[in-house]
Structure 1
Amino acid sequence: MFKWEVVHGGKTPPPGAAVGPMERLSWGRTVGLGAQHIVAMFGATFVFPIIMGLDPNLAILFSGVCTILFLLIVKNKVPSYLGTSASFVAAVVAIRAQGGDSADVTGAILVAGLVLAAVGLLVHFAGARLIHTILPPAVTGAVVMLIGFNLAPVVADAYWPQDQWIALLTATFMVAAAVMLPGFWSRIAVLLALVFGYLVSWAADGVFGPITSPDATGEVVTRDRVSWAGVESADWFGLPSGQLADGVSAVHGPSFSLSFILLVLPGVIALIAENTGHVKAVAEMTGDDLDPYMGRAIGADGLATSLASLFGGSPTTTYAENIGVMSATRVYSTAAYYAAAMFAIILGLCPKFGAIINAVPGGVLGGITVVLYGMIGLVGAKIWVENRVDFGNPVNLVGLAAGIIAGVGGVTLQVTDDFELGGIALGTILVIAYFHLVKSRREELGTETPATTT
C-alpha cells in the first residue's frame, strides 16, 4: 500500500502525462501538491462547521485524520480528500430549532455515519446495483434538491440581515470567481470569496464605522464587522478547546434522540450519491476499474463521519474541489493526499487559526451561503440531467412532487403526541415511498404526456 513508484524522474510530468494513484513525483513536489489540495478544500471545510454551530478547528483536524482513515480502507486506490459535508446542514438547523444542542447534533450524525458504513458494507458484497435499485437517480436527485433548498430560510433569517450589502458584494464576487477565473482559481472560489468579504468588511468598518443590525442570535446590536479580540488571546499551538455558542464544549461526546436521528438520515442518501459520483469520476480520470472499491469508499466515509462526530467534529464527505485539482494537474497520487492530511492536522492544532475562522463576519457568511445552499439544491437537478430523468413520465413527475414540497416547505405529520415527522425527513420518506409505489408503470407511461393543470 505504501510503495509509490517514482515516475517522470520525480519531476513535473510533461503536458498530457499523468501520475497514477500508486505513483508519485519527488517528495518535495508531492508535499506541494498536498498543500494545493488543502487550499482547494479549505473554504467549504470550515464554513460548514461554523454554519452548523460546531468547532471549525476540530473540523479541519478531523478532515486530516478521516482522510487518512479513508485512504487506508480503500487501500490507497481511490484518491480523495474528506472535507466537511454539507448534506446535514439543513437537518442540523432543524435540530437546533427544536431545542437540540451540539451534542444532539453530533449524536444524530454519528448514527447516520454508522448507517452509511452499513450501506457501504452491503454494496461491497452485493454490488453497486443495490444502490441504483433502491435509490435511482430520480429519487437521489429529489432528496439532494430538497436538502439544499430547505436551507433558504437560514440565509434569509440568520446571515443575510447581519450585513446585507457585504453579503451581496461577497455573493457577487463568489459567482464571478467560480465562473470567470481560470483553472485552479475557480476551484477555490469559496476561499477567495471569504478573503474578499473579510477585506471589504474591514474597509467598511474604517469608512462607515460600526454597523447596527441583528447579530448571530438575532439581537439588534451595534458592533464592528471584524473583531479579532479572540485572535489576539488565542494560543499558537494546542488541542481544540473552549465552548461552542450553545455552551457545549468544542470537544464533546454525543447524545442520542430518535427524533433528531430521523432528521439527519436523509443526508445519508446525499452522501451515497456523492461518494458514488466521486468514485466514478476518479475511475474515468485514471482509467482504473474502481467498482470493487465502491463499497469500501462509501463505508469509509461512514466510519469517518462517525469517528469525527464521536468527539464533536463535523461530518465528512469526498470533495469535488479536489477532483478539480486532479483534473487540472493530472496527478492522482494518493501520497499527495497523505501530505494534505498532515497539513490539515497541523492547522487543526493551531487555536489562533481557529479564532481567525470564528471571526468571519456574518455578512460574509450570508454572501457565501446564499450561493452554496443554492448549489447544493441544484446538484439534485444535475443528477437528474446527467442521468436523463424523463419528467415527461408521470412516474417521475408526480411520484417526486409531493416529497419535494413537503421537504422544502417544512410540512409536518404528527405521528403521536410526542413524535412528529417533518421537513427533510418527511419529504424523503414521501419521495421514496411514492416513487416506488408507482414505478412499475414507468416503462408503460414513458411515452405518454403527463396530465397537467392550467
Structure 2
Amino acid sequence: MGLPWKLHGDGKTVSSTTIVAPDERLTWGRTIGLGVQHVVAMFGATFLVPLITGFPPATTLLFSGIGTILFLLITGNRLPSYLGSSFAFLAPIGAATKIGGIPLALSGIIVVGALLAVVGLVVHLAGAGWIDRLMPPVVSGAIVALIGFNLAPSARTNFAEAPVTALVTLAVIVLVTVLFKGLIGRLSIVIGVVVGYLVALAAGQVDLSRVADAKWFGLPDFHAPAFDPNQLAVYLAFIPVVLALVAENVGHVKGVGQLTGRDLTPLTGRALVADGVSTVIAGLGGGSATTTYGENIGVMAATRVFSTAAYWVAAIVAVLLGLSPKVGEVISSVPHGVLGGATTALYGLIGIIGIRIWVENRVDFAKPKNQLTAGIALIMGIADFTFDFGQASFGGIIVGTVAAIVVFHVMDLIGRARGTDESTPVASDQAHAATGGVPAEPRRD
C-alpha cells in the first residue's frame, strides 16, 4: 500500500487561490520543514503545562507525539491536528497533586480521557447536534472563561517569586505579539520565555546542575497512575474538563472545515475518540493530557498547507525530543519567575477565548438568561466557590460549570413554558475553545 498523499501541483508552490488539502503534500523537503514549524508552534504551550504541574516535560513531549500519531490514524488522515498539552486540566491536577501526588492526578486524567472517548462514540453514532443543545455558546463560553480566570491566583504566586524576571517575560510577550506578524508573532510565548530565561540565568535564578548530568538520548521518566476510590471529589473535579475538551474539538473540526472548504463534521466523533484515547495513554505513562491546538491552525491558515503529512513529521520530531532527557531537564530548569510572566498572559488568554466564543456567536446579553448564566458561572469560578458535602469538596471550576448548565437550561425551560423568553438558537459554529490548545498570541485565524 502506498503513501496516502498525492503531490500538490509541482510540489513546490501553493498559489493564492488554492490550498494543500489534507490528502495532499508538497515535496518531502518542504513537508519536513512545515512539520518542524508545527513543532515550534506547539512547543511553547506544551512544555509550560508540565512545568506548572510538575510532570516530566520529556514524557509530555513523547506522549504528545504519540497522541498526534493516534489522532491521525483514528481520523483516517483526513483531519490535520497536533495534540499538545491541555491547560484545562491545570486546576484539578493541582488539587489532586496536593492530595495524592502525581499518581492520583494521572488517574483523574485517565477518567477524563475515557469519558471523552465515550462521548466521541456517542457523537459518532448519534451526531453532534445534542452537544450544541447542551452547551450553547453562552454556556461553553462561560465554562472556558472561568477555567482560565480560576487559575489567576497561580499566576500571581509564580509572578511574586521573581517580579522583575516575570515582568520582563510578560513585556516581551506583549511586544513580540504587537511588533511581528505571521509565525514570529505566534511564537510570542516561546520568545518571551526564552528572554525571561536568559534574564533569570543572569540573575542566578536557574539551576543547571541536572542538565549537565542528563543524557542526550534515553527514555524519559514514567509515572504510573494510582486510583483511589476514597477520592470521589477529586475525580468529580475533573469532570468539567470533558465539556471544555468537547467544545474545543468540535470547534477544531469546524474551523479546519471552514478553512479547507470541506465538510469535516462527520469526523467529529472520531476526533473526540482520538483525543480521549490519547489522553488515557498519556495518563497511563505520566504525560500531560492532550488536546487539539489552535497554534497549529494558525500555522495552517498562514501557510495554506493542511497536509496531514506535515503532522506526521511533527509527531515524529516530538517523539524524538521526548527521548532526550537533556531536553527535558533544560525545560524543567525554567524558574518560577518566568512561569509567572508567561502564565499571566496564558491564563488571561484562556479566559478571553471564552469571551471570544460569545462574540463570534453573537450571544445576546440583553437576555436575562444569558446575563445570569455567564455572570453566576464566572463569579463562582473566579472566586473559587467551594461546597463541601461530607468528605467531598467541589471547587470553583466544577461549581461554575454546573451552574452555567443548570441556570441556562432552567431559565430557558421556564421562560419558554411561560412565553416570557424565546429559545436560544443553536450556534452554527462553535468557536475554538483552546484551553489545552492555548494560543501563543491573541488568535488571528
SS in 2 for 1:100: helix
Hey, what's the Cα distance between the residues in 2 that align with 1:91 and 1:378? 20
Hey, what's the Cα distance between the residues in 2 that align with 1:53 and 1:7? 43
- 1:93 to partner: Cα distance: 2.1
Task: Read off the aligned partner of 1:439 and give its amino acid letter.
Answer: D
Task: Read off the aligned partner of 1:154 and give its amino acid letter.
Answer: S
SS in 2 for 1:317: strand
Partner of 1:101: 101
Partner of 1:444: 420
Partner of 2:265: 291
Partner of 1:375: 349
Choose the corresponding residue for 1:240, options 217, 220, 229.
Answer: 220
Cα deviation per residue 1:66-87 (whole Å; 9 max; x = unaligned)?
A: 0000011111111000000111
- 1:431 to partner: Cα distance: 1.5
- 1:191 to partner: Cα distance: 1.1
Task: Read off the aligned partner of 2:336 and give its amino acid letter.
Answer: G
SS in 2 for 1:101: helix
Task: Read off the aligned partner of 2:89 and give its amino acid letter.
Answer: F
Partner of 2:210: 230
- 1:310 to partner: Cα distance: 1.0
SS in 1 for 2:125: helix
- 1:437 to partner: Cα distance: 0.9
Partner of 1:221: none
- 1:407 to partner: Cα distance: 2.2
Hey, what's the Cα distance between the residues in 2 that align with 1:57 and 1:103? 17
Hey, what's the Cα distance between the residues in 2 that align with 1:179 and 1:136? 32
Q: Is the counterpart of residue 434 in structure 1 residue 407 in structure 2?
A: yes
Task: Read off the aligned partner of 2:132 and give its amino acid letter.
Answer: H
Partner of 1:220: none
Hey, what's the Cα distance between the residues in 1 that align with 2:345 and 2:373? 28
Hey, what's the Cα distance between the residues in 1 that align with 2:181 and 2:381? 37
Q: Are the counterparts in 1 of residues 139 and 373 from structure 2 also a CA contact under 8 Å?
A: no
Partner of 1:246: none
SS in 1 for 2:205: coil
Written as runs of structure 1 = structure 2, the 5 A alignment for 1:231-380 is: 231-241=211-221, 250-256=222-228, 257-380=231-354
Q: Are the counterparts in 2 of residues 110 and 309 from structure 1 also a CA contact under 8 Å?
A: yes
Partner of 1:213: none
SS in 1 for 2:10: helix
Partner of 1:50: 51
Unaligned 5+ segments in structure 1 are 206-223, 242-249, 448-454
Hey, what's the Cα distance between the residues in 2 that align with 1:424 and 1:304? 23
Displaced runs of 4+ in structure 1, greater than 6 A?
Answer: none
SS in 2 for 1:9: coil
Moved more, 425-434 or 254-263: 254-263
Q: Are the counterparts in 2 of residues 392 and 446 from structure 1 also a CA contact under 8 Å?
A: no
SS in 2 for 1:83: strand
What TM-score does the superposition give when structure 2 sets the normalisation length? 0.91
- 1:147 to partner: Cα distance: 0.8
Partner of 1:407: 381
Hey, what's the Cα distance between the residues in 2 that align with 1:314 and 1:197? 24
Q: Is the counterpart of residue 390 in structure 1 residue 389 in structure 2?
A: no
SS in 2 for 1:117: helix
Partner of 2:201: 202
SS in 1 for 2:20: coil
Partner of 1:215: none
SS in 1 for 2:394: strand
Hey, what's the Cα distance between the residues in 2 that align with 1:259 and 1:166? 37
SS in 2 for 1:304: helix
Partner of 1:209: none
Partner of 1:18: 19
SS in 2 for 1:251: coil
Hey, what's the Cα distance between the residues in 1 that align with 2:23 and 2:352? 34
Hey, what's the Cα distance between the residues in 2 that align with 1:412 and 1:359? 34
Hey, what's the Cα distance between the residues in 1 that align with 2:92 and 2:240? 9
- 1:289 to partner: Cα distance: 0.8
Q: Is the counterpart of residue 425 in structure 1 residue 426 in structure 2?
A: no
SS in 1 for 2:100: coil
Moved more, 65-74 or 6-15: 6-15
SS in 2 for 1:391: coil
Hey, what's the Cα distance between the residues in 2 that align with 1:401 and 1:303? 34
Q: Percent identity?
A: 47
The count of corresponding residues between Structure 1 and Structure 2 is: 417
SS in 2 for 1:89: helix
Moved more, 402-411 or 54-63: 402-411
Q: Are the counterparts in 2 of residues 406 and 426 from structure 1 also a CA contact under 8 Å?
A: yes
Q: Are the counterparts in 2 of residues 21 and 333 from structure 1 also a CA contact under 8 Å?
A: yes
- 1:446 to partner: Cα distance: 6.0
- 1:26 to partner: Cα distance: 1.2
Cα deviation per residue 1:257-299 (whole Å; 9 max; x = unaligned)?
A: 3211111111111111111111111101111110110111112
What TM-score does the superposition give when structure 1 sets the normalisation length? 0.89
Hey, what's the Cα distance between the residues in 2 that align with 1:36 and 1:391? 40
Q: Are the counterparts in 2 of residues 35 and 340 from structure 1 also a CA contact under 8 Å?
A: yes
Q: Are the counterparts in 1 of residues 102 and 225 from structure 2 also a CA contact under 8 Å?
A: no
Task: Read off the aligned partner of 2:170 and give its amino acid letter.
Answer: A
